Structure 1
């Protein structure tokens, strides 16, 4: 064997071993990227309590100044007595006057009661109640990706900025994209 042939074999063998080692290292190391297959926004419908207020006209009975209706009773008794004294004569006139006073007093009391109940005061009042309003909340993005010919899904707070996610030591590198705590991949076939 001549010297150049021996040099060629050594160089060729060394190159083959280097290329084989590089290919073996790449196979052990794994891929540098996971391919994004699909991105889907995840929404949730939630009920949010909201306070709703409005002005309402409220009517109440006015404060009564004469609770025992003395004025109505007295005025009714005087008028009833005056009318009763116009009837009959002698003892009948006295009896008619007493009955007029009693009847007039009772009637005056009832009339004042009815007038007091109808005496109303109105004012505006704010009334509030809590109602549930339905809102649509964005909860994140389900990102389906392919890594080593396997499909998996991960939930991320933001959609990926490209169609590839960097991989290091077989793990997705999500430092550029903030992900919620439940980011464990779900492997599916």
Structure 2
């Protein structure tokens, strides 16, 4: 057999074997994909407290200068006594004067009490309360996938679309790992 024919046959066999190995390696290590079955956004509620203040009109009773209502009682007693003194004569007149003074004193006391109760003033006060604002924040995506007939679930930072890359039988969950 010719030496060059023999060398050519050996080199050809080596080339076919190497080419098949490279093709097999490429097929085995080719990027595969897991099929995405469902993607559900995961939200977190963020609660932020804040203080809300408003001015409110408040009605208060004015400070009482004559707490025991002495002025009203005295004025009522004097007026009642004078009116009672106008009635009757003799001992009846004295009795009417005393009764008028007592009744007038009581009436004067009650009149002053009512006047003091209705003596009010209005002022403005600031009243504050804490309210909580709520907002939603996206924290990731729960992804349900099918990899070679096995269904699994994983949380991902972004929506993967319709398929997830697989390398060496493992999901590639970040752009850094896919390179």
TM-score by structure 2 length?
A: 0.72
Kept after mapping to 2: 8 A contact 1:61/1:117: yes
1:128-187 Cα distance to aligned partner (Å, 9 max, x none): 444555533323244567766877654333456x9887765435252659xxxxxxxxxx
Partner of 1:112: helix, strand, or coil?
helix
Q: How many residues align?
A: 175
Q: Where does the alignment leave 5 or more consecutive residues of structure 2 unmatched?
A: none
- Inter-CA distance 171–57: structure 2 relative to 1 (3 Å threshold): same
Partner of 1:58: helix, strand, or coil?
strand
2:22 corresponding residue in structure 1: 22
Kept after mapping to 2: 8 A contact 1:75/1:108: yes
Cα displacement (A) at 1:109: 0.8
After superposing the two structures, state which structure 1 stretch, 94-103 or 164-173, moved more.
164-173
1:60 corresponding residue in structure 2: 60
TM-score by structure 1 length?
A: 0.69
Partner of 2:136: helix, strand, or coil?
strand
- Taking only aligned residues, the RMSD between alpha carbons, in angstroms, comes to 3.6
2:103 corresponding residue in structure 1: 103
Distance 1:55 1:40 in 2: 49
Q: Which has the higher contact order (CA 8 A, sep 6+)?
A: 2
1:74 corresponding residue in structure 2: 74
